[in-house]
Amino acid sequence: MADRFAIILAAGKGTRMKSPRPKVLHEIGGRSMLAWSVALAKDLGCKRSVVVVGPDMPVLSEAAAKLVGAENVVIQHDQLGTANAVDAARDALKNAEGHAIVLYADTPLIPKEAGERAFAEIETGASVCVLGFRAKLPNRYGRLVTTTDGSLEAIVEANDATEAQLQIALANSGVMSAPVRLMFDLLREVKNDNAKGEYYLTDLVGLARARNLRAAAAQCEERDVQGVNSQAELAAVERVFQDGMRDQFMVAGVTIPAPETVFFSHDTKIAPGVTIEPNVVFATKVSVETGAVIRAFSHLEGAKVGPGALVGPYARLRPGAVIGKDAHIGNFVEVKNVTIGEGAKANHLSYLGDGEVGAGANIGAGTIFCNYDGFFKYRTVIGEGAFIGSNSSLVAPVSIGAGGYVGSGSVVVEDVPADALTIARGRQSNKDGWAKTFRAEKSAAKKAGQKPDGAV
């Protein structure tokens, strides 16, 4: 099979986004739209991906270089239309032999199957292939005019279409594939004799037909090529992505009683048999194993949840959180970079940062891992079966031995041996009658208009 290449157009200014961030760096499912296109090219087996950016886009250029390498980022200096943008990749692909696909960095959800269909037409003899879709409301789209044998005859813009052509539902997505050498050869013939004075990639179809070469149309769903030009459209594409993920997980056996309230990232991994209650957010790099329950209003990022574990409600798992089999992380508990052992529990109002909790350990309400001194982070290690009393502060670096007990309200600054009890708090003393005397004295002073020093 011939080598494959991708040309990803990302030079649009995105002024309708009204955002200081470049348009194609806005995210869908926790991944930038540009990264979606680069990932698609990789999934399609493209040998190289060239990203075309506009001038004076240093932030975008830097982001693109991290994804494809600086040598594969080129600038469309004049920005005179889509054909001009693709032509900006000419030098980068001057030695390329094979087939290329033109993708748009603001069209992030094109599935691999659609790209494969576009390449397949070229690999079976077509000179140019355009990816089309059947639009529910095609009025604003260019139409793909096909012949009786299914070949692509022309692309007609809506403003130029006849009444008969306006009845065509097959619309142009803009995605195009062609042999690399032929694509750049045809680009030399594109003219800009139109109202905008721009060079249009769609002209390649007519130019190929003029050479008696066959053009083809591959098809995908309208939702697959939904583009983004505004914040509202960004939200609309996010909805398409989220709906797809929800359906995918439920079909696979994940229980989601209120799917419209649960949000996933592009790389979320949920095993069959997991239950996800309402209003849960999965940021990137989260995996949840079978039998786990993620209760309502929890937020997970960079975390691994083991089989049978219970998380939430109102829990926050931050990067590095590893929740073991049958462990419990309860309401208003935050875990960051801590491994929670099998069957361990932290059920209430705690912060666990940087450390390790052994199997079967119990973390009482209000426990804090004091892991930061203003400059460095330190680890807290709690042994198997240890018991940490409520409202305890464990000042790292510190370890609690297996089976050790920490009395409630303790501030622990030294290691606790296995099976030992530590009580690190002031000794209680009771003064009989003190409160009654205090109230009487203060009431009398207030009645007499007397204020103690410092009172306001």
Q: Which residues are catalytic?
A: 348
Between CA 252 and CA 241 the distance in angstroms is 17
Structural contact between residues 300 and 318, judged by C-beta atoms closer than 8 angstroms = no
- 3 state SS of 192: coil
Name the residue type at position 25. L
E-assigned strand segments in 14-68: 27-28, 31-32, 46-53
DSSP for 399-444, please give it. Answer: EE-TT-EE-TT-EE-S-B-TT-EE--SPPP---TTHHHHHHHHHHH
- 3 state SS of 249: helix
Structural contact between residues 367 and 392, judged by C-beta atoms closer than 8 angstroms = yes
Q: Is 397 exposed, middle or buried (0-12, 13-18, 19+ CB in 10 A)?
A: middle
Output the 3-class SS for 86-101.
Answer: HHCCCCCCCCCCEEEE
Q: Which contiguous run of DSSP H or E holds residue 306?
A: none
Return all residues near 299 (Cβ < 8 A) that are at least 6 apart: 280, 281, 283, 315, 316, 317
- 3 state SS of 2: coil
Q: Which contiguous run of DSSP H or E holds residue 143?
A: strand 143-146
Between CA 148 and CA 126 the distance in angstroms is 16
